[in-house]
Chains A and B, each alone.
Chain A
């Protein structure tokens, strides 16, 4: 079958009311679920799955994909408005999105998040359609040693999100690494730091940690210091993002999308690291570097491009290899199998109509996301105008409910509050929370892949430099670390010179 025939076959499947309806409903459900803190995109997809059992295969799959796309974008709405990432993937959006909302630019931040998301989504879908084969065979070159070096490089992000003090950032990261060790040891299966409590056997719930670290400290801060919030409402975020701003951020959006496509096509990393990597790269390259973390629109654009860039690309290992890249695609594979479809190379021969139907559906979903997203932003941005005395208790209720719903476990709510106090102490001590979160996500990956490599090689460290991919990541890690150290030394010198100059002026 030629390319045109394939597209026509796909079109025959998709060009009907049900498919469009499924996509539109999916995106809407995803946006609503993603905007509720604790209700992650993963949960929304899992809850939608049973509804697809009775639908035609393509309709069911498009419904799930719609939920996935909508959810990943909408996670940015609460991240910007109430400093609570709706899904783990939008944690990086908090860094600049929330300060923008504080400045009364919530509408602008949300608009940029939407445009960056849709652009990245489109690029990611295009990459899936055009380069699925190449990217999938590249991804298969990633064994534990390659993974280890990639994660090691990703840990350098910490420097980019540490704020003023690298030392405090590293402290925060070490704390995150420590908390990530709770649970079962991967290789020996023994308990670590669980204090004989079965609830800790599975480790600390990621969403509980995430919400505890970001949302709860804000609430505690207000309880501690209610006067600061009295009568203070943030002005209506009426300003919309301009084309000039989009153009200025375009480079970061493209870069973020490509990072997302690259990380998304490798099974097992997920959207959150991609968003952080995109954010820290944008900061490193930007002229407005100083403004990052204080409400820089480019930061919002970069992190949203980073996480949505993953959304289409995670389907690459799924379709080309039959391998789920993350939890969401694992659920989508379940949906394929229920309909008797077996993802993998053969599907491109046996079910070419469904494959191309999906491709077309994905492109339509990017457009639908733009519409549904604009409407939802118009509805949600008024959240910024709710007085804090009303908003924060409501956020608190949502957080408790959301964290409970992840695993239906009250223990997780306890974890959330414990992490909330830790986050509050960190907030007061000016220790940034983002490095903690990155270390918490990447730490276990780093450890697992290191130990798997050691098992493979019989404990010879040379396996960690076994091929060009590992050499590449070792090199860029080295360059980045040198750059960070040099910048640190230079900053230190400048500060000393300034102090000396100030002292001399005073003496003179």
Chain B
């Protein structure tokens, strides 16, 4: 009898510890890698969500900027980390769909990551200088087709969302081969890309509406189109719904959280719950919406699907246009 009691106690103790080991994640601070520099769209988004997220996680989140190579440096460091949930990544449209679709030599693929949630969508808008004389995408495209090699668009670098977006928009609006007939001018960073349109170095730019918002408000840039179905506040331009072009809706920016590939199911599920709690925080939502983001939470499964679909669309476009970078 005594043995039985002892055995039961031990069994109970073991099962309690076992369940505690699961319940106790996280038992120490979690490192959150931001693969872009301070002050950028990803950084601000990450730091804004870190506030409600810390409340949900109930353990400190250590925010680390690991910058370089269009988000690749930071992404690789998480790819190689232990899949124990203590090193997570703020993944972004550039680092996790455009770059993998364009760069053959990228040291990681989508399969190296497990997405636990996408929490933010950024509409993409295209804009020109108000003095350029273009009032619609149709006029711009007509010029590209009539005089190939005269219209240019700026980007924040090869393999950035802006790079792909410029080519994709021209193609959707009827330019046979935008890589040949329009000039892509890569610059260093999103601010420089917008400046290039301001000072006439480039004709147009397609990027997240939040990056253009202040220029549009100040009437320094004129928006021509917005890719979402719903209009964007302050942007007096047709949406994809107005133009009856639903395929444009795939061209959006997003921010999500990912871990290394081998991340266990229960940790992914826990993150899904944390993100649900964080994104329901009213202050967070109002802060993000003030900057032009749309808060839209996807659970781990939906995120994975969304990102893979976007990747496929981009990959097809890149292959069609011969934009893939091999070297």
Which A residues lie at the B interface, using CB under 8 A? 42, 45-46, 49-50, 53, 140-144, 183-191, 198-199, 201-203, 267-268, 317, 321-324, 327, 330-334, 337-338, 340, 342-347, 407-409, 448, 452, 455-456, 458
Assess the B198–A202 pair: CB atoms within 8 A. no
Assess the A321–B198 pair: CB atoms within 8 A. yes
Q: Using Cβ atoms and an 8 Å threshold, which residues of chain A touch B290? A: 340
Assess the B73–A344 pair: CB atoms within 8 A. no
Assess the B66–A184 pair: CB atoms within 8 A. no
| 8 Å CB contact of B38 from A49, A344, A345 | A49
Assess the B214–A337 pair: CB atoms within 8 A. yes
Q: Using Cβ atoms and an 8 Å threshold, which residues of chain A touch B68? A: 201-203, 407
List which B308-327 residues lie within 8 A (CB) of chain A: 325-327
Assess the B218–A202 pair: CB atoms within 8 A. no
Chain B minimum-CB-distance residue to A323: B195
Contact with A along B253-283 (1 / 0, CB 8 A): 0000000000000000000000000000000
- With contacts A189-B159, A407-B67 taken as known, whether A456 is within 8 angstroms of B215 at the C-beta atoms is no
Assess the A198–B72 pair: CB atoms within 8 A. yes
Q: List 30 A-B contacts (CB under 8 A).
A: A45-B38, A49-B39, A186-B158, A188-B325, A190-B326, A198-B69, A201-B69, A201-B107, A202-B68, A202-B73, A321-B195, A322-B220, A323-B191, A323-B198, A327-B37, A330-B40, A333-B191, A338-B287, A338-B291, A342-B213, A342-B214, A342-B218, A344-B214, A344-B217, A344-B218, A345-B218, A407-B67, A452-B187, A452-B201, A458-B183
Tell me, rounded to whole Å, the shortest Cβ–Cβ distance linking A431 to chain B: 29
Tell me, rounded to whole Å, the shortest Cβ–Cβ distance linking A502 to chain B: 54
List which B27-43 residues lie within 8 A (CB) of chain A: 37-40, 43
Tell me, rounded to whole Å, the shortest Cβ–Cβ distance linking B160 to chain A: 9
In whole angstroms, what is the CA distance A50 to B47 when docked? 7
Q: Using Cβ atoms and an 8 Å threshold, which residues of chain B touch A267? A: 191-192, 195
Tell me, rounded to whole Å, the shortest Cβ–Cβ distance linking B224 to chain A: 19
Interface centre among A42, A203, A321, A332 (most CB of B within 10 A): A321
Assess the A337–B38 pair: CB atoms within 8 A. no
Tell me, rounded to whole Å, the shortest Cβ–Cβ distance linking B204 to chain A: 14
Chain A minimum-CB-distance residue to B71: A202
In whole angstroms, what is the CA distance A390 to B199 when docked? 54
Q: Using Cβ atoms and an 8 Å threshold, which residues of chain A touch B191? A: 267, 323-324, 330, 333
- With contacts A189-B159, A331-B38, A344-B217 taken as known, whether A455 is within 8 angstroms of B185 at the C-beta atoms is yes
Contact with A along B9-37 (1 / 0, CB 8 A): 00000000000000000000000000001
- B interface, how many residues as a size bin? 35 or more
- Say whether B64 faces chain A, with CB atoms less than 8 Å apart: yes
| 8 Å CB contact of B70 from A184, A340, A448 | A184
In whole angstroms, what is the CA distance A60 to B125 when docked? 30
Assess the B214–A343 pair: CB atoms within 8 A. yes
Assess the A49–B185 pair: CB atoms within 8 A. no
| 8 Å CB contact of A190 from B188, B199, B200, B325 | B325
In whole angstroms, what is the CA distance A321 to B219 when docked? 11
- Per CB-CB distance, the 4 closest pairs between chain A and chain B, nearest first, are A202-B68, A189-B158, A344-B218, A46-B38
Assess the B152–A183 pair: CB atoms within 8 A. no
In whole angstroms, what is the CA distance A190 to B327 when docked? 5
Chain A minimum-CB-distance residue to B326: A190
- With contacts A199-B73, A331-B39 taken as known, whether A189 is within 8 angstroms of B201 at the C-beta atoms is no
Contact with A along B139-150 (1 / 0, CB 8 A): 000000000010
| 8 Å CB contact of A189 from B43, B157, B213 | B157
In whole angstroms, what is the CA distance A408 to B78 when docked? 12
Chain B minimum-CB-distance residue to A199: B73
Chain B minimum-CB-distance residue to A144: B201
Assess the B107–A198 pair: CB atoms within 8 A. yes
Assess the B158–A187 pair: CB atoms within 8 A. yes
Assess the B72–A344 pair: CB atoms within 8 A. no
Assess the B195–A327 pair: CB atoms within 8 A. no
Assess the A408–B64 pair: CB atoms within 8 A. yes
- Say whether B65 faces chain A, with CB atoms less than 8 Å apart: yes
In whole angstroms, what is the CA distance A323 to B290 when docked? 19
- Say whether B82 faces chain A, with CB atoms less than 8 Å apart: no
Chain A minimum-CB-distance residue to B191: A324
Tell me, rounded to whole Å, the shortest Cβ–Cβ distance linking A415 to chain B: 12
- With contacts A184-B158, A342-B218, A452-B185 taken as known, whether A189 is within 8 angstroms of B73 at the C-beta atoms is no
Chain A minimum-CB-distance residue to B188: A448
Assess the B158–A338 pair: CB atoms within 8 A. no
Assess the B66–A408 pair: CB atoms within 8 A. yes
Contact with A along B85-122 (1 / 0, CB 8 A): 00000000000000000110101000000000000000
Q: Using Cβ atoms and an 8 Å threshold, which residues of chain A touch B38? A: 42, 45-46, 49, 327, 330-331, 334
| 8 Å CB contact of B199 from A140, A191, A340, A347 | A140
Assess the B215–A188 pair: CB atoms within 8 A. no
